[in-house]
Structure formats: C-alpha cells, structure tokens
Copies of this chain bind each other. A is one copy, B any other.
Amino acid sequence: MAVNLFSPAADDLKPVSGVRLGVAKANIRKPDRKDLLIIAFGHDATVSGVFTKNRFCAAPVQICREHLEQTRKDNLPVRALLVNTGNANAGTGERGYEDAMSTCMMLAALLSCKAEQVMPFSTGVILEPLPVDRIIAGMPFAMDDLDENNWLNAAEAIMTTDTLPKAASRTVQIDGKTITITGMSKGAGMIKPNMATMLGFMATDAKVPQDLLDVMLKKAADASFNCITVDGDTSTNDSFVLIASGAVDVGIKNAQSSALAVLQDAITSLAQELAQKIVRDGEGATKFMTITVDGGASVEDCRTIAYSVAHSPLVKTAFYASDPNLGRILAAIGYADIEDLDVSQLNLYLDDVWVAKDGGRNPDYREEDGQRVMQQSEITIRISLAHGDATATVWTCDFSHDYVSINADYRS
C-alpha cells in the first residue's frame, strides 16, 4: 500500500566512517525477525537527540534524556544506541525504567563504558513488560554483527507495521572533502510527531561540535519529522537522533562556518526524505498529500490549519475515495479556530486547480478538474489566507479501509 516508496538497495546506503551497526534476531515479540539493533561509534562522536512531547513518554525516552544530560555533565561521549522493536516499554511504570536500565548496563559492559553512555530506544506494543532476558541474550549476536556497511539490515530491524525499510544517503563536497550522511526511519501508525518521529537515526562522518549539532538537529527536525502526520496520534516513543562521528574535519568550528550551512542543507534534506517515507508508508495509505498554507498571520496559525485539514477523517476518506468533496477541507479550516480569520478572502487550490475563491466555490471550478487531481497518488492542497506572510507545510496520507484493518488486527 505504500505510496511511491521503494526499498533502498544495500549499496544505495553509504557507510559513515566511525559508525557501525549490528543486528540480531532476539525473539522479542515474533520469532525469526530482526528486532534488535546496536549502533556503536567512537570517542570522537557527538550525538544530539530530540524526543516525544507525549507526557506518557516511554521509559527509554526518559533514560535517553537523562543519559544525554549526564554524559554532557560528565564530559563523556555517548558510545552506542540500543534499539528494540516489538515492545515499546511504555506505560510500564517503575519496572519499565529498571528494565531499560538493565539493558543499558549490559551493553555498557560489552563496550567497556558506563551505562549512561548508552541510549536505549524501544518501539512496539505499549503496556507490556519488556522481555529483558531476550534482549540481553541477543546483544552478543548484534555485537558480532557490527559493521559500517550494515544500514539496510539496521533499517529492517527497526520496522514494526512498516511495509518497507526506510533509509537514504546524501554526500556533499566541502573544501574538497566528501562528507557522507546516512539515515533511517521507521513508523507507519501513531504518527504525529511532536519533536521527532517514531524512530529516526542519522549519522554523518563530519566533525561537528556538540552545541552546533544540537542546533542542526533541531532545525532538521522542525522541517521534517515535525511536519508529518498519519493519524494524529503522537507516540510515546518518538525519538530522532543525529550522530556526527567526527571522522572528517571540514572546519566546522562555530555558527559562522561556511561548511555548517552546506551540511545543514544536506541534513535537513535527508531528514525530510526520511520523514516523508514514513507518510508514504502510512498505515493503509494510498495517497501522499502535501498541505501548504500560505498568507498566514504566523507560522503557528498556518501549521494549525494544515494539521486540522491533515487530521480530518472526513478529508482523509474523501481523498481515499478520490472524491473531490472539497467542502470538507473548508470545514476543517474553519474549525481550526484561528483568531480573526477572514474566510471571505480564502482561496483553495488542488495542485493547479483553483477550487474555492474568496471563501466560496470558484465560479470557474469544474468538478472534473478536481476529480482529475484527486485520482493522482501525489496531491498538493494549497490554502491561501491573505492574512499575512507566514507559510507552513505538512505532509500526510489518506485514510483507507486498510488503516482500520491494520489497526484492528495489529496485536494478533
């Protein structure tokens, strides 16, 4: 069902010097399935992370935040990420916290570092205890598998209801040196990231000081994973991590470094591709929709309207049906409840088709034109407010029978 989403080939994914990935089948939820991933890197790496704003955040998210803070305080590098699928370790209370800490301690022992230098990630079913023994038993196998050239296996190991692995690479030339960025993401349902998506991991071999990496990650997240929604459900486990291995020094010293802007563009571009892959693989998705709101009083207003349209089950089912029942979009704009919004100046376009003009049906709009666009697999909805200069874009997908089937059957 994925919309124009294709699995990358193993050699599409460029290794990132200094970043090794190892995968194992740990039987966490289902047998004979890659479900455990270790990403390990050297002492020169800097790591930034952003996490879900869901107040019911999972134990691993809480520990990630603590470990990031602690390692900075202690001036120790983060050495590894530990990822499991099949179980989210969320809604598991104090025991969930202890379980996640146990896995960090074990991996730290294998890496000869402290537990705080390991960041744990879990994704899967909520409210069930983490099978710690199986995770620990799987770790040596994942350690044995560590390899810089292992991104495709890793992308497969983090899949849950995803139908395809999601990963991509970029290379940029800076001062005659080649910088590589490779990343992967997972997620198909419970997707309305608020700070980061289900899981997204990116690595570059560039050397980037910690404070600049933090800003770089935040900018990339705001322009990518924070602009997508499948079903409006912000997960308990959303995490997006950027690793700079430090293998290649291109002179990024401060915010004024010219190399920084080049790297930022490539990082953001890759993050957008990975974020959009999640939407393309949205549970039951048959259409990929770009919702752009311009002429708003603020970016926040534009985002609110775009999300209101993107979350409307009525809009999403109309797109599924290729039915240009576009009044549903107007209704969703209206209930976004934007202060002082003058709907009599609003214009609505479906790709190149001008549907609503000055708040009413465009007299020149013909249903067959709307119908033509609705039948495409990629559609841009543009809402023009004549209310200011701000703009925002959100990517989403439609709502199909398969969404219901997938989510009514997920645990079985």
Contacts and interface: CB of A to CB of B under 8 A. Distances in A.
B404 A95 contact: no
B404 A331 contact: no
B408 A56 contact: no
A404 B320 contact: yes
A337 B55 contact: yes
B399 A331 contact: no
Interface in A285-340: 311-314, 317-318, 320-321, 323, 325-328, 330-338
Interface in A325-357: 325-328, 330-338, 341, 343-344, 356
A233 interface: yes
A364 interface: no
Contacts of A92: 360-361
B412 A404 contact: no
- Give the residue among A96, A128, A235, A236 with the most B Cβ atoms within 10 A: A236
Given A56-B343, A327-B126, A407-B318, A194 B335 contact: yes
A93 interface: yes
A358 interface: yes
B404 A404 contact: yes
A54 B360 contact: no
Given A56-B333, A401-B405, A360 B320 contact: no
A74 interface: no
A189 interface: yes
B236 A361 contact: no
B335 A55 contact: yes
Interface residues of A, number: 71
A265 B356 CA distance: 44
A159 interface: no
A235 to B, nearest CB: 6
A255 interface: no
Given A92-B361, A231-B313, A325 B55 contact: no
Instruction: Specify the main secondary structure of chain A where it touches its partner.
Output: loop
A162 to B, nearest CB: 16
B232 A313 contact: yes
A326 B125 CA distance: 10
B321 A408 contact: yes
Contact of A56 (B90, B318, B331, B403): B331
A13 interface: no
A343 to B, nearest CB: 5
Contact of A54 (B125, B323, B335): B335
In the A-B complex, the 4 residue pairs with the smallest Cβ-Cβ separation, listed nearest first, are A126-B327, A93-B360, A56-B334, A321-B408
28 contacts: A53-B337, A54-B331, A55-B333, A55-B335, A55-B338, A55-B343, A56-B333, A91-B327, A91-B359, A93-B358, A93-B360, A125-B327, A126-B330, A127-B361, A190-B314, A231-B313, A233-B328, A233-B331, A234-B331, A234-B334, A236-B327, A236-B330, A313-B403, A317-B404, A317-B408, A318-B408, A323-B408, A323-B412
